[in-house]
Structures are given as structure tokens and as C-alpha cells.
Amino acid sequence: MKCYNLSSIASEEFPDPEEIVNFYKNVPSFLNSFPLDTVLDWYRNDINYINQNGIAINGVCAIKRENNLKNFDLVLIDGSEFTGERDLWAVMGSKFIALDYICTFKCWNAYQTLSHNSSYKLITCDMKTRNGFAFFERIY
């Protein structure tokens, strides 16, 4: 096992603030428990953190390149509240993909994408535990 201290995606790959505002206003979720300004502060803090710590590159692509990987066997998407969908784009094709927080911005779109993708089969899903989780297997 190798450990990496990188952001899964580059800071410029984060969603635009308008995407977060749109989600906040149109999809009832745990995020609505907090004022929108607080949520947007979290977003700015995430981007500032990875930029200030020199880890703002696309970590998934760097790991694939360094290890000569096309896909991963197993991926857990459970990081920043704002990167889940972009994380999925980077790991699509992996044999197994586990999503955490599928009922918040983090993995809402990733869950929707995999649920409607004929290359993946839903193995298990729970919308209530820890804001939801799901586990998908790639079918060939």
C-alpha cells in the first residue's frame, strides 16, 4: 500500500459556486441544515487548504500515472463535500465504487450517474445511514 497526501482533484476542477447554490436551493438535503453562506465558506476553505498546502493537483490522475494504472479495483469516494462528482469522473471504470453521503452535494450526482449507467450494478444502498451510502460493481 502507498499513501498519498493529495487532493483527489485539482483546485480548478472543483465545481463552480453556482452549482452548489443551485443544489442547495433545489435538492433538499442535510446541507439545508446550515446557512448557504456557511456552506460556501466550507467550499472556499477546501480550495484554500489544498492550494496553500501544495496538494492542488489531480491526485487520482497522478496516482494512476505513477503506478501505470488504467483503473482501480476498489474506490471509496468520501472526501470533500464538493468533489464527489468530479472524483467519479476520475475513477469511472473501476471494478467497485463505494459512495458516501449520497444524499448531499458530495455524491448526489455521482450516485445518480452510476444508478443510470448500464456498466454498473448497484450492490447495496442505504439512504438513511450517515446521509446515505451506495456500493456499485462494474459489469462487463
| Strands (E) located in 51-117 | 74-77, 96-100
**The three cell numbers locating residue 134:** 451506495
Give the C-alpha distances (Å, rounded to integers) separating 20 from 16, 32, 37, 81, 90: 7, 11, 11, 10, 20
Query: What ranges do the domains of the chain cover?
Result: 11-138
Q: Is 83 helix (H, G, I), strand (E, B) or coil?
A: coil
Cβ atoms within 10 Å, residue 42: 15
Instruction: Please identify which residue in the block is written with the cell numbers 501544495.
Output: 54
Mean pLDDT score of the chain, rounded to an integer? 92
pLDDT in tens, 69-111: 999 999 999 878 899 999 999 999 999 999 999 999 999 999 9
Task: In whole angstroms, give the CA distance from residue 112 to residue 29.
Answer: 15
Rg over CA atoms, the chain: 15
Task: In whole angstroms, give the CA distance from residue 99 to residue 88.
Answer: 9
| pTM summary value | 0.89
pLDDT of residue 78: 86
pLDDT in tens, 127-138: 988 889 999 999
pLDDT of residue 55: 76
